[in-house]
Structure 1
């Protein structure tokens, strides 16, 4: 059964109570697996029984996804699995598909010893299609290990111990060069002060852990076109915010680069620099926040490994606490010189700043045709910190400009179905990009409980329910200027139409004002209307004069 959601892009905040009532109506978990749709995008439940139906009474969160490069229809998703919501017994759940995500097989959980619990799942895959599942164990036997699957995620070999540490992340080198197959991992500092490890033999063994020379956490890794290794994370030293007792901030974000981790004979070393993301990482401890006692997601780093002109660009995306009343926004920066210098931060979410608008659990990927995909949880439509939905945006120009934000899931309450002694919906979600779109694994409560969903999103500027890339490749749409955007979507684009909705209105003015007094991103920045290199009130006045809707400056 498929339930279609309201496809409108926004809802006035006064309707938050209607959202709550709608959610309550969906809150009864039944035995039928349900697919939930928002426009052309369908979320398919992953943690299902052998008949493909929902398993009432369990909980699942903290998702990770990997796609087989040899057979892209073979996808594996991992998560934290609670067999009953009333038990704190958490294990490493996983499921696989061989038909591109239409149907999922959930064999159970990773092997564990008596009294052993599993958390912090991370999946990746090597160039040959072997999957790797990293899992942190607590309880009777502690430590982080990696499991390997050579059969598309159907089964897993015995675990190989990696290190003792928390908040781990892992990546496998798929560059095709000498370092292809290397496995890298970072984590928060362990008792010995270490936070990095490497395998140069496809996970059979791991080198001794070592220390990256800054204390950081809640980050990710990326491998460059030539095997360079990039790491990003937030400072672990927090600052307590007196006026907001439930909030701590962490500043700055750090960027690390290793040129020799790819060399199996060398001891990896890293350069480090602080990043200006336009705000600080924030953690909210209970109180009025969307993830109760969980985090807001990991800082994201990705690299363009295409054959095009943006090859080698490095990108960082993070949800952070910006200046002003807004609690969390999504900011993006880019480097065109391997991380030596960085652009000014760009705000990716295009809503009007508000204390009731939370953008969190940010995800990012880069496709082999240079498109950047970003997705996140967002409360803008409900005005209620408990009720989020997934939003999606993409960029074809290296993150200089972004598409209009689009909701890609129905709303859901992130405060229901919380597992025993784990008052959160996990600490992160995960996205992988391919040339046609992005593949997302995320947790939601459409069934009145925490479940895992697979979602395929894609650029669809012409609204025909098919990826713009497929339209152009198949000849259904023309792209005369080869910018990956169907010509029909650009023919009537108005000067000053910053959000691409076909008119110049208050929303465009708000987008310009949100970047006021910032330098333009370049000579073609559409917000710098007077061309003086700065986005300022002169630009806002000129834009107001070009409004195509009556009274747009005051509506």
Structure 2
């Protein structure tokens, strides 16, 4: 079991305390562009030229990608409402060249055009691709799905390219960065009603798209991921054939998983197989019992793949918000497959709160880091006891999702039922997480300013609670990792043999504890100072312990 002894520096508090905190925070600065909670700082993305909040607007459904050639170059896009009084949305975007510390918001990608459901991804050469639904000139119905390309780090964008010209909904996009025969392929799928033709691809870098093909089950309200060998995976919901207006559970769908092994082949017409996946509960689309997202979904089904060169390479992971049995409202559940989706693990509950009728975990986000760590972030009401007040919580796994870290809050609380654009009445449909080696980047919507704004947040594993990523602590010698499991030894539940002072390291201080009593008899067969177990604590024990030092030259610092 990982980190069962990890401490939570911010235990839950009474709902009234949280409510007062929210009010005090909102009144302190109505135009704040940064919101800090411990070491985690949410930075507003949708800001004016002076870096200040733009009042009277709204923004939701943020999507994000990071340039693989320049990790400091991040692009975030969203549904942009210039006025909270209007339901007209455009494609807003911002770019950062300093790893998310500051943002440039140039405006909408195509001013005056209605756009929704944006999704961004990036190819191996650092070209960004923006997919969205485009509305007719009156902004009433979806006319087509378009993809727009940027070759300069998201600073400017080319002319839109039609990916699908017959409407559609909930478009998704993924780009192959596998280095194989499909490298650079741009994949688009969408929710289609009436037929199963819901997938297309571009094999020429987004310059054109092929005729659409079908996917059995037409997975909807989900995401796509490309595996290390160019395999294409899609996870989503299987929608019922009829919408039952009378049944309260009409929003409960099944989870499904589709894959294609030939979409990567430019000479083949893509084909897919689909199977049902048990993620530990029905797949709610809307939660009609005090929905924290009002008239919006509770989050997209997440899929991602381990692309490392380690032992978990190729593992496929699915995470989703489910409606568990009993009075508990919503949970974040996770399953994994080590055989390309043919078989799946038993469902694992990621959120570690006690089941409660006033607890909603929703808008789950997931990513897999290059070093195989799985990151998960979600909206959570556990601390407020109210469906309308959420905050972000974070957990991670180093063992392929078999066990998860203790959940930690990473944002201030905020009311998700305020700041709605006119007629929208929701926080959008999703938020986005992209895992990095030392942490994860999150793009999410919050109402810290009393309106919907988009924020960038860097989260990271920090089991020793020093405000620095455990990955960096280990790499830079601030923490030992004797068993090479990515977890600082000081966080392990099993004491490190030879760590006589219990600080999680073997260093000069431990050797000194032996030398201070050298040539004395051991207190018994289990005396940790008697390294060679010969019954005497002597210089030989000190020399042997030196070979186990976890710091260079056994340095104490």
**TM-score normalised to the size of structure 2?**
0.84
Note closer, same or farther for the CA distance 1:151–1:308 as it changes in structure 2 (3 Å cut). Answer: same
SS at match of 1:195: strand
User: Quick check: 1:33–1:48 contact (8 Å CA) kept in 2?
Assistant: no
Residue in structure 2 matched with residue 39 of structure 1 by the alignment: 38
Query: Equivalent of 1:411, from 406, 410, 413?
Result: 413
| CA-atom RMSD in angstroms | 2.1
1:112 CA displacement:
4.5
1:295-334 pair list within 5 angstroms: 295-334=297-336
Moved more, 459-468 or 31-40: 31-40
Residue in structure 2 matched with residue 450 of structure 1 by the alignment: 452
Deviations 1:382-423 (A, max 9, x none): 000000000000000000000000100010000010000100
1:96-245 pair list within 5 angstroms: 96-112=95-111, 116-140=113-137, 142-163=143-164, 164-237=167-240, 245=248
Structure 2 Cα separation of the partners of residues 8 and 466 of structure 1? 14
1:238 CA displacement:
7.4
SS at match of 1:221: strand
Structure 2 Cα separation of the partners of residues 289 and 308 of structure 1? 41
User: Quick check: 1:238–1:248 contact (8 Å CA) kept in 2?
Assistant: no
Structure 2 Cα separation of the partners of residues 26 and 209 of structure 1? 49
1:374-393 pair list within 5 angstroms: 374-393=376-395
Deviations 1:124-152 (A, max 9, x none): 00001011111111132721101111111
1:71 CA displacement:
0.3
Q: Structure 1: any 5+ residue segments left out of the alignment?
A: 1-6, 495-555
User: Quick check: 2:226–2:232 contact (8 Å CA) kept in 1?
Assistant: yes
1:289 CA displacement:
1.4
1:355 CA displacement:
1.3
Residue in structure 1 matched with residue 80 of structure 2 by the alignment: 81
Structure 1 Cα separation of the partners of residues 196 and 402 of structure 2? 38
Detail structure 1 runs of 4+ shifted over 6 Å in the superposition.
Answer: 238-244
User: Quick check: 1:167–1:187 contact (8 Å CA) kept in 2?
Assistant: yes
Structure 2 Cα separation of the partners of residues 214 and 399 of structure 1? 27
Deviations 1:337-391 (A, max 9, x none): 1111110000000000011100000000001100000010000000000000000
Deviations 1:293-336 (A, max 9, x none): 00011001110010000001010100011111111101100011
SS at match of 1:248: helix
Structure 2 Cα separation of the partners of residues 266 and 352 of structure 1? 50
1:283 CA displacement:
2.9
Residue in structure 1 matched with residue 60 of structure 2 by the alignment: 61
SS at match of 2:473: helix
In our comparison, the structure showing a higher alpha carbon Rg is 2
The number of equivalent residue pairs is 484
User: Quick check: 1:62–1:443 contact (8 Å CA) kept in 2?
Assistant: yes
Residue in structure 1 matched with residue 346 of structure 2 by the alignment: 344
Structure 2 Cα separation of the partners of residues 414 and 481 of structure 1? 43
Structure 2 Cα separation of the partners of residues 67 and 323 of structure 1? 38
SS at match of 1:292: coil
